Amino acid sequence: MASVESNWFAAVASLEYCVLCEVYGIQVAHSNQDRGKSQKAPYCLTAALCPKCHHEIDNGKELPQAERRALMDRAIVLTFLELVQRGLVVMGKVPKRPTT
């Protein structure tokens, strides 16, 4: 596994609390959207989820698939936001906007 991926997973795992329900003890959960069995999404499409939320999003029967996908998307955004706020993700050079 590449160093960037390892660092990303370690940063997500360091969050400790589920970004959806704030329960202590998380798993680094990959997005399964548009993936076949045993295929993982890119490392950066991961979320800090407790086992219960992770299971409900991946395998739960309480919510329709579209709602589970939307919940995972929200969790990924909240994870990214938390990483940025803690200084664990730092922007490099921001590209200039193309002139139109």
Residue 79, pLDDT score: 97
pLDDT at 100: 62
> At 44, is the pLDDT very low, low, confident or very high (cuts 50, 70, 90)?
confident
pTM greater than 0.85 (yes/no): no
For residue 95, the model assigns a pLDDT of 65
Q: Where are the domains of the chain?
A: 3-85
Residues contacting 44, CB < 8 A, separation 6+ = 8, 80
pLDDT at 24: 97
- Going by C-alpha positions, the residue among 42, 44, 62, 52 that lies closest to residue 18 is 52
**Kind of pairing between the strands at 46-49 and 27-30:** antiparallel
Nearest CA to 48 among 85, 1, 94, 92?
A: 85
Question: Could you tell me which residue, 33 or 45, shows the higher pLDDT?
Answer: 45
Residue 15 has pLDDT above 70, yes or no: yes
For residue 35, what pLDDT band results from cuts at 50, 70 and 90? low
Q: Computed from CA positions of residues 76, 81, 82, 87, in that sequence, does the dihedral angle turn out positive or negative?
A: positive
